[in-house]
């Protein structure tokens, strides 16, 4: 399927989505968000893909909402920004959070505003050393959105989340890695190879189990210990019924690499 604002390439069970508005640093127009949710749905149901790699074309990952596009104009008076969030942004973030397969984000340059939210919605986030993260909202009188106020305190703690949100200063990728905001920071030239290797590992891994891991780890932040123990119990029941569990145990006993099918 062809899209106007993104590129989708499928190879060896990895679906690579590239935000493709490089002339605007891949700013999030409503058209791009529509393309992105459509691609995520299509990939999830294609019967072949077992991992997603998300990145940006050109010199940036995503500069956030495209304020110059006119998308937010709604006639006379101030726009209702909640409409765009409800209709376009929230479906993408919710889809990523509840995806059935792992999502790797390769941040190749600036990730600002909702673009930063988009990156943090991935499971494994790898950034180039030249990349930066920016909560730009306060600089134009807005509040963080697209999940930023959910992701930031959980990943970096409330003090750092408030500092990022209220000061609006750029955070270098190396510092983001030190804070635990992302998985790791690599040399620019190594970014896509490093991200691709992880996506390939996921694409050849036990998809059911990996999908359950991403789900239950996200639930842990709001659960009590007892609640989380029950979540683990139910997830383990599902994983234990998968073909990949049988293959994993068999391969272990036979001292050979497992050949997972994702089922």
pLDDT given at position 68:
80
Q: Which two tokens stand for residue 81?
A: 């920004």
Judged against a pLDDT cut of 80, whether residue 153 lies above it is answered with yes
Judged against a pLDDT cut of 80, whether residue 76 lies above it is answered with no
In this prediction the pTM is 0.93
Mean pLDDT (whole number) for 140-155: 95
Helix (H) or strand (E) holding 14: strand 14-19
What is the C-alpha to C-alpha distance for residues 214 and 131, in angstroms, rounded to an integer?
Answer: 25
What is the C-alpha to C-alpha distance for residues 213 and 204, in angstroms, rounded to an integer?
Answer: 16
CB-count burial class (<10 Å; 0-12, 13-18, 19+) for 184? middle
CA atoms within 13 A on the CB side of 149: 7
pLDDT given at position 8:
98
Q: pLDDT confidence of 73, banded at 50, 70, 90? A: low
Torsion region of 113: left, alpha or beta (phi above 0 gives left; psi -120 to 50 gives alpha): left
The per-residue pLDDT for range 159-196, each reduced to its tens digit, is 999 999 999 999 999 999 999 999 999 999 999 999 99
* DSSP string computed for 201-247: HHHTS-HHHHHHHHHHHHHHTTS-HHHHHHHHHHHHHHHHTSHHHHH
What whole-number percentage of the chain has pLDDT above 90?
91
The answer to whether 112 and 58 are in contact (CB under 8 A) is no
Q: pLDDT confidence of 72, banded at 50, 70, 90? A: low
| Among 139, 137, 105, 140, CA closest to 123 | 105
The answer to whether 17 and 54 are in contact (CB under 8 A) is yes
Judged against a pLDDT cut of 90, whether residue 229 lies above it is answered with yes
Sheet containing strand 171-172, strands side by side: 111-112, 132-134, 171-172
Judged against a pLDDT cut of 70, whether residue 102 lies above it is answered with yes
Judged against a pLDDT cut of 90, whether residue 84 lies above it is answered with no
What is the C-alpha to C-alpha distance for residues 15 and 21, in angstroms, rounded to an integer?
Answer: 19
């Amino acid at each position: 399927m062809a899209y106007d604002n993104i590129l989708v390439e499928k190879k060896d069970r990895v679906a690579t989505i590239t935000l493709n508005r490089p002339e605007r640093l891949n700013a999030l127009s409503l058209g791009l968000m529509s393309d992105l949710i459509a691609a995520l749905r299509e990939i999830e149901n294609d019967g072949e893909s077992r991992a997603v790699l998300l990145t940006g074309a050109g010199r940036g990952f995503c500069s956030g909402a495209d304020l110059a596009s006119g998308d937010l104009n709604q006639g006379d008076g101030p726009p209702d920004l909640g409409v765009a969030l409800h209709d376009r942004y929230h479906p993408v973030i919710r889809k990523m959070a509840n995806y059935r397969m792992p999502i790797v984000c390769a941040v190749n340059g600036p990730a600002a505003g909702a673009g930063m939210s988009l990156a943090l919605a991935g499971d494994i986030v790898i950034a180039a050393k030249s990349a930066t993260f920016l909560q730009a909202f306060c600089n134009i009188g807005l509040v963080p959105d697209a999940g930023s106020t959910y992701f930031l305190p959980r990943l970096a703690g409330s003090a750092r989340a408030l500092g990022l949100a209220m000061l609006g200063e750029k955070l270098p990728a190396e510092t983001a890695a030190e804070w635990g905001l992302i998985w790791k920071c690599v040399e620019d030239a190594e970014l896509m190879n490093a991200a691709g290797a992880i996506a390939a590992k996921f694409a050849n891994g036990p998809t059911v189990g990996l999908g359950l891991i991403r789900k239950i780890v996200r639930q842990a932040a709001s659960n009590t210990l007892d609640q989380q123990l029950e979540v683990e119990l139910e997830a383990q029941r599902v994983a234990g019924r998968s073909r990949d569990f049988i293959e994993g145990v068999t391969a272990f006993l036979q001292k050979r690499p497992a050949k997972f099918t994702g089922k």
